[in-house]
Amino acid sequence: MRKLLSVLLAVLIVASVTVVSFSAAGTGTATVTLKSVKGDTVTKTYAVGETFTTYTYLNASQINSGKIGSLDGSQYYTNSVLELAEEYDPIEGDIFDVETVFPVTKAATVASGHWTESEEKPGMGAVYFNATVASYSGFKFDADNKALIICRYKVKAAGTATVENAFTTLACSDYDLTRIVNRGVIINSNFTSPVALSEPATPVVTGYTVSGTITSYLSNTENVTVTLTGTDNNYTDSSVGTDTTYSFSNVPSGEYKMTVAKKDHVTREYAVSVSADTTQNVKICPKGDVSNDGKVNITDYSMAYAHVQKQVTLTDYRFACGNVVGSAQKIDMNDVSRIYAHINKASLLF
């Protein structure tokens, strides 16, 4: 029995040694963690010999309209497990296909380099880059799908590896080259730099939220209709209800006409320009409410009368509220009389 046990033990030892040597021979897997400059991570496991691609994006849409004038950074990788699959000059470190690796900044302005052993991080290889545009136009990083670095690696040994991004400098393309990242410290918290280990299937149509408060009067059970229509695109949507707020989501950048309507109120139009999440508070008033305070009384009569007498000139929405009768774009004594009749309850406007 004892002999049998020792034989079994010997078999087990041989088996485990076999497994270890099998792994050390160059098969097995590597667990790779890709890390953004803000510390977000994505992790995937690859077979030894497999090649994979890292995607590092720069989303600066909330900062200087996404225009970057200067950047200086590195991507570090665990060099005992990974090697750079990009073609590069082994002596000078220059990466040959800079346009593919840095799709936005491209070859003309990027100084890049690659070292299998970085000076500042022992055990890490590094891809270095820096780019500056001497103009206000800048590199345009205005959406999540604008990639800064698309880098390929090959897994050369089993183990655990990290690929991490670092910026020394990131600056707006303004006169002062205002820093977003200064000496490795992120100053502007609106800045994000997402990372991915696979390319997004289809770029999502990015849009913005247009929202605001609605002020109207008279009945609070009558619907208010808010309609948003593109004047330079074919977007159109409506919000109908009794809520005192409205919201449109996924609205593309562009110029819009917003129309606000409610029973017994004067329809109002707003011009809305969308290039980010936008707040547009709206207010509509009852017919005859020239002063725009929600009530029709002697003040409104006086204002309309003063307009007819040319003592004041009512314009825009106040004009529209005072022009209660007649199809002509004119406030005259007919309108003034009609407002007066409403106040005296002789003939109501609504």
Is residue 142 part of the contact set for Ca ion (CB under 5 A)?
no
Nearer to Ca ion, 72 or 335 (CB): 335
Is residue 289 part of the contact set for Ca ion (CB under 5 A)?
yes
For residue 274, the cross-strand partners are 254
Q: Which of these, 281, 282, 280, 278, lies nearest to 251 by C-alpha position? A: 278
Nearer to Ca ion, 106 or 295 (CB): 295
In whole angstroms, how close is the CB of 223 to Ca ion at the nearest point? 23
C-alpha 78/C-alpha 54 separation (Å) is 14
| Site stretch for Ca ion (CB under 5 A), options 17-25, 73-81, 120-128, 281-289 | 281-289
In whole angstroms, how close is the CB of 294 to Ca ion at the nearest point? 7
Nearer to Ca ion, 181 or 331 (CB): 331
Q: What separation in angstroms does the CA of 183 have from each of 58, 149, 153, 186?
A: 18, 20, 27, 8
In whole angstroms, how close is the CB of 290 to Ca ion at the nearest point? 6
In whole angstroms, how close is the CB of 288 to Ca ion at the nearest point? 8
The size of the interface with Ca ion (CB under 5 A), counted in residues, is 8
Instruction: Candidates 9, 243, 326, 333: give the one binding Ca ion (CB under 5 A).
Output: 326
Is residue 266 part of the contact set for Ca ion (CB under 5 A)?
no
Contact 190, 59 (CB under 8 A): no
C-alpha 222/C-alpha 237 separation (Å) is 20
Instruction: Candidates 291, 304, 320, 338: give the one binding Ca ion (CB under 5 A).
Output: 291
Instruction: Candidates 87, 117, 277, 293: give the one binding Ca ion (CB under 5 A).
Output: 293
Name which of residues 305 to 324 contact Ca ion (CB under 5 A): 323
| Site stretch for Ca ion (CB under 5 A), options 41-49, 115-123, 135-143, 288-296 | 288-296
| Site stretch for Ca ion (CB under 5 A), options 2-10, 19-27, 76-84, 283-291 | 283-291
41 DSSP assignment: E
Query: What element of type H or E holds 13?
Result: helix 2-24
Nearer to Ca ion, 67 or 287 (CB): 287
In whole angstroms, how close is the CB of 321 to Ca ion at the nearest point? 8
Q: Which of these, 199, 201, 204, 202, lies nearest to 249 by C-alpha position? A: 204
Placement of tokens 């204002």 in the chain: 303
The helix-helix angle for 298-308 and 333-343 (nearest 10°) equals: 170
Q: Which residues in 50-78 are b (16+ Cβ under 10 Å) and which e?
A: eebebbbbbbbbebbebbbbbbbbbbbbb
Residue 323 neighbours by CB under 8 Å, 6+ apart: 329, 330, 331, 335
Nearer to Ca ion, 72 or 289 (CB): 289
| Site stretch for Ca ion (CB under 5 A), options 5-13, 165-173, 201-209, 291-299 | 291-299
| Site stretch for Ca ion (CB under 5 A), options 162-170, 172-180, 282-290, 302-310 | 282-290
61: left (phi over 0), alpha (psi -120 to 50) or beta: alpha
Greatest CA separation for the chain? 121
Nearer to Ca ion, 110 or 331 (CB): 331
In whole angstroms, how close is the CB of 286 to Ca ion at the nearest point? 8
Collapse the DSSP code of 207 into the 3-class scheme (helix H, G, I; strand E, B; otherwise coil) and give the result: coil
Instruction: Candidates 72, 86, 142, 300: give the one binding Ca ion (CB under 5 A).
Output: 300
Q: Which residues bind Ca ion (CB under 5 A)?
A: 289, 291, 293, 295, 300, 323, 326, 335
